[in-house]
Structure 1
Amino acid sequence: MSNSQFDADVLVIGGGPGGSTVAWDLARNGVDVLVVDGAEFPRVKLCAGWITPQILDALELDPEQYPHTISPFSSAVLWVGDTPCRTDYRRPVSYGIIRAQFDNFLLQRALDAGARFLNENVGSVESNADAFVVTTREGSTYRAPLAIGAGGSKDPIRRKLTTHAAEERMVVTLESETRVGADRIREHTPYYEVPELFLEPDFNGYAWYFTKGDYLNIGIGRLGDPRIRDAHPRFMQQLRDLGRLTPELEADLTKFRGHPYKIYDSVPNQAHGERFLLVGDAAGLARHYSGEGIRPAVESARDAAEVARTALERGRFAGADLEGYASKLTERYGPQKAPRFDPTRWIPHSWQSRIVQGICRNDRLRRDWVFGKVFLFDPEAAAS
């Protein structure tokens, strides 16, 4: 499909799960794809590293064939105050992966399919009548008929070519992942390779203690709350009180780092425009309540690849010609508008707290609503 005036059929900004997936999908269908990312892979990526079978399906990936750390989770523990509430399943309903390994695997798969990789930092982006133009900080310029932004919430296309509503809310996280050894982890938790989730006292987020093989992942996320650095010490003290952390273990943890991103809620986000599409966090597709972003990243990447192939076949790349992508996102994730009925507006917070605690403590409601609706675990797989 390449034309001599272009450097590729499609420029993909970002080599994470969304960017690698769209590059893999396009390349294996004969599209000339150039992935641009300033990071050297494998690279550390802040993330709890929790994926569901639906993600593996979207990636056409058999967990038995994945060559790196992938811990099957057949149970989950939800802490409600000082009470651990456990739900068990007959088969794995999620898997723990290490993002540095996972992202590098997906990128290499895209390269094996024929995509190309440029290890440079994007400096500027421009969409004009003739091409989409990316200029790197290193001074190189690349042109293509179409670009796909997969660079997360700080994606240069999202930042420079889209508009944002003032009422946008962001999830803010602080996370650490450390290889400390399986034996050492077992000494500190009775729930080895069972995700532990800790509801925030005001239910405006949750924290986690994930054990994945030799790795320990600890983090906390809150919705639209810049005071996360006040909540983080409280959670760390809770882990100390539970014996999850000792001074020796805590001293070995990697530094906690922050990461903001938009959720898919009632505040609309722009996912396409003249000669570009956005996927994953660049399009603000992270799931509401859980904040999970890997599944929307790979699902939207598959949708974007389909729309991109059609655009290339027709040779039409205007915003109106790419409208089908927005329709796919709406069909997949629902319309972005305020709910008709919002009980949080008239039910006192103290009552809301009791309702949420009651749901979380009830085995069936926790299975169906918390883990089923929020984290997308298959309720049918739950053990009786």
Structure 2
Amino acid sequence: MMAVTKPRNESQAPQFAGNFDAEDGHVVDVEVLIIGAGPTGAAAAIHAARSGFDTLMVDAAEFPRDKTCGDGLTPRAIHELESLGLAEEITSGYRNRGLKLHGFGASVTAPWPDSAFGAVGSAMPRKTLDQLIVDAALRAGARLWDGTYAQAVRLGDRGIEEVSVKRGARQVCVRPKVVLVADGVRSTFGRILGRTWHRGEVYGIAARSYCSSSFHDEPWIHSHLELRDELGVIQPGYGWIFPLGNGDVNLGCGALSTDRRPAKVNTKKLLQHYAAHQQTEWELGEPRLVTSAMLPMGGAVSQVSGPNWALLGDAAACVNPLNGEGIDYGMETARLAVELITDNIGDARSWSRLTLKDSWPALLRERYGKAFLLARTLARALTHPKFLPAAGPLAMRGPLGAKLMPAAARLMGNLVTPEDEDLVARTWRASGLAMGKLRRHSPLWS
């Protein structure tokens, strides 16, 4: 993490975070600066550009580029992609109907419910998806500087005044009105701003690969909830196979972990073991492009906003603790952030009125807080070595499994809305409210 130097009198001098350097004098003024151009950042750029803001995206990678991900797109994600005008282009290539859950001697089919988000899911490799959304952002009028590192900031009373970026050999000073940070799970720029990941809360470790398969167009996502390592030990996580409709499936596995109960598993080795067990049934080729990542989840980060800046999506740990899904939350938080900025500054574009420091985490807590706290607690239970072997057979088998697992799949798909009034939704909200009271000191975008 880069060092932060504070002046003795902050009212008279700026604060520097990182090695601020723009000696060549090249300065760029912009209204909305977005750090990161994945689905979250590019979606924010589309919404910002459509709202009439001068918008610049910077990303350390050069596009097109790959990203560690399961590649699944839930109906909630498709719903957000519809608002960007991209859903039909994605679902015309491949669409899925829901989940098939396997484990403990049983299988349960859970179609996507006919919710406010629709009942169509899909999947697309991140290399393709990210480029698709970036291209849409460029068409909307945003600019992209890829291969560009955001290295440091100059902070004043109104938040970020300048950002030092390295674009090729040139150091450039960008002077934004507002900064949206969407640089992913590690959030290097977020750490410069003080973002802290609370690893005492449950987090995920995962690995993914691509395999050729004769069943690449299978219209169901498959999740194996009884995930065993080469010694036969059940791991606190699941394996997945997401058909992509392009000759490949995305095959991966993930495990849950905390500081107190770390997952003692090499996810890349676990992936190879899982792939070998699925090879015959799925007619799989050898796993390739194997990558891994760690995921902060369920809002377990702090310092996610300042007067004129906010962390979005994965950077703000807006990831479902039950399954690691975050693309839908990422694009959703992108839209919500731009809406909040627009409401703050009004039609007169009075940037001095912008106040995100308290309003952004408050909005995140209102939208996702109860559900994330409950999901984090359930995920934490899975890290207890004896919990899953005891609860798994009860949850998956017989009439209980036929009722329980479709409800669980709905929660894993982030498909419960505040407007839903059925029993599952009411139970989920009530449990989340109770958990919020019990764990009111648990970090949640604090």
TM-score of the pair, normalised by structure 1 = 0.82
1:335 Cα deviation after fit: 4.8
Counterpart residue number, 2:49: 27
Contact 2:210 2:288 (8 Å CA) reproduced: yes
Return 229-238 or 144-153, whichever deviates more: 229-238
Over aligned residue pairs, what C-alpha RMSD do you find?
A: 3.3
1:237 Cα deviation after fit: 2.9
Counterpart residue number, 1:65: 88
Q: How far apart, CA to CA, are the structure 1 residues paired with 2:370 and 2:284?
A: 48
Counterpart residue number, 2:140: 113
Counterpart residue number, 2:364: 329
Q: How far apart, CA to CA, are the structure 2 residues paired with 1:268 and 1:38?
A: 23
Counterpart residue number, 1:223: 256
1:197 paired to 2:223: yes
TM-score of the pair, normalised by structure 2 = 0.71
1:313-361 residue CA offsets vs partner (Å, 9 max, x unmatched): 332377x55422222211110259966x97988xx96466433332233
Q: How far apart, CA to CA, are the structure 2 residues paired with 1:126 and 1:159?
A: 14
Counterpart residue number, 1:273: 306
Counterpart residue number, 2:409: 371
Q: Which runs of 5+ in 1 are unaligned?
A: none
**Paired residue secondary structure (2:285):** helix
1:16 Cα deviation after fit: 0.6
Q: How does 1:97-112 map to 2 (within 5 A)?
A: 97-112=124-139
1:142 Cα deviation after fit: 1.0
Match of residue 298, structure 1, among 331, 351, 357? 331
1:288 paired to 2:321: yes
Contact 1:68 1:101 (8 Å CA) reproduced: no
1:85 paired to 2:108: yes
Counterparts in 2 of 1:291 and 1:241: CA distance versus 1, 3 Å: closer
Q: How far apart, CA to CA, are the structure 2 residues paired with 1:238 and 1:324?
A: 44
Q: How far apart, CA to CA, are the structure 2 residues paired with 1:336 and 1:212?
A: 29
Counterpart residue number, 1:249: 285
| One-letter amino acid of the counterpart of residue 285, structure 2 | L
Counterpart residue number, 2:155: 127
Match of residue 170, structure 1, among 177, 197, 203? 203
Return 122-131 or 84-93, whichever deviates more: 84-93
1:283 Cα deviation after fit: 0.7
1:204-225 residue CA offsets vs partner (Å, 9 max, x unmatched): 2111122211222111111226
**Paired residue secondary structure (2:288):** coil
| One-letter amino acid of the counterpart of residue 412, structure 2 | V
Counterpart residue number, 2:192: 160
Q: How far apart, CA to CA, are the structure 2 residues paired with 1:342 and 1:280?
A: 20
Number of aligned pairs? 361
1:358 paired to 2:394: yes
1:295 Cα deviation after fit: 1.0
Contact 1:69 1:98 (8 Å CA) reproduced: no
Match of residue 258, structure 1, among 276, 292, 300? 292
Counterparts in 2 of 1:88 and 1:306: CA distance versus 1, 3 Å: closer
Counterparts in 2 of 1:129 and 1:103: CA distance versus 1, 3 Å: same
| One-letter amino acid of the counterpart of residue 375, structure 1 | G
